[in-house]
Amino acid sequence: TAMAEDFERFYTDLKEQESEDSVLTSEQQLDRLLRPGSTYLNLNPFEVLQISIDTELEAAKKKYKKLSLLIHPDKNPDDRERADKAFDIVKKAVAIMEDPAQLAKAKDCYKEAEARLAIMLSEKRRKAKKDGGDGTIDEDEPKAYRKALWVIVTKVFADREKKRKLLEERANEEKRRNAEAAVEAAEKRKLAEEFAKNYEESRDERRGAWRNFQAKKARKEEKGQTMKGSAFRPPKLKPQGK
């Protein structure tokens, strides 16, 4: 697939640029950390610091110090903007190494990748035997295996980051809806309280208006301006002429 080919080219270029135990120049480190496609790669603290998954914290800190000296903005005044970004990436990586919970999650990405790769290689080996071979595959070579694992590890980190962002967006959306509901409920309570207050304040006024109405009605009845039910007589019908 296109994605697999992109990973292939990225890995080849990356490993051609760096050796396992080299300390690159400032410009090379900036290029490595900021090159197109490195966004998800930099989620992996071991990749950022160029250390193995089994590296102890003190050794990781020493590597961080070396990298910091190379990419620190003060050391790269002519390329300060890129240096700032790269320095933040390296600081985030060592922060993960220093946090047991985050470090455990990072290592778990490798475990998941190894499990995925084991299934893939088993299927590839089975197919090789079916095609008449002895089941030997390229990934039996350590270098090829590390390359295949690197690709899957990078994908696992990327998948988990996408999932984290999705859950975060959902949580933020839920908070937004809850906040809107709370505001709406508060407005309804405010309206209800204002109505109750106005109703209470206008009670005496309503009572006074009713008493005035009843008094006016009584006065009209006394003056004969109204007809009570008992005083009402229907008009007599006149006989029709023959």
Q: What is the pLDDT of residue 218?
A: 72
Q: Which amino acid, one-letter code, is at 180?
A: E
- What pLDDT was estimated at residue 168? 86
Q: Is 116 exposed, middle or buried (0-12, 13-18, 19+ CB in 10 A)?
A: middle
Per-residue pLDDT at 4 exceeds 70: no
Model pLDDT for residues 142-183, shown as the tens digit of each residue: 999 999 999 999 999 999 999 998 998 898 888 888 888 888
Residues 121-143, mean pLDDT to the nearest whole number: 90
> What are the percentages of helix, strand and coil residues in the chain, rounded to 5?
80, 0, 20
H or E element, residue 105: helix 100-130
Q: What is the mean pLDDT of residues 107-117?
A: 96
Is the four-CA dihedral 139, 143, 149, 154 of positive or negative sign? negative
Percentage of the chain beyond pLDDT 70 is 79
Rg of the chain over CA atoms, in angstroms? 41
Q: Look at the pTM and tell me if it is higher than 0.75.
A: no
Contact 149, 113 (CB under 8 A): yes
The reported pLDDT for the residue numbered 21 is 43
From 74-78, 183-187, 203-207, the region with the lowest mean pLDDT = 203-207
Q: Higher model confidence: residue 203 or residue 40?
A: 40
Average pLDDT over residues 221-242: 59
Q: What band does 20 get if pLDDT is binned at 50, 70 and 90?
A: very low
Strands (E), 90-147: none
Spell out a b/e string for 74-98, using b for 16 or more CB atoms within 10 Å of the CB, else e: eebeeeeebbeebbebbeebbebbe
CA torsion sign for 123, 11, 112, 166 is negative
* Residue range 73-99, pLDDT digits in tens: 999 999 999 999 999 999 999 999 999
Q: How many CB atoms lie within 10 A of CB 157?
A: 23
Residue 194 pLDDT greater than 70, yes or no = yes
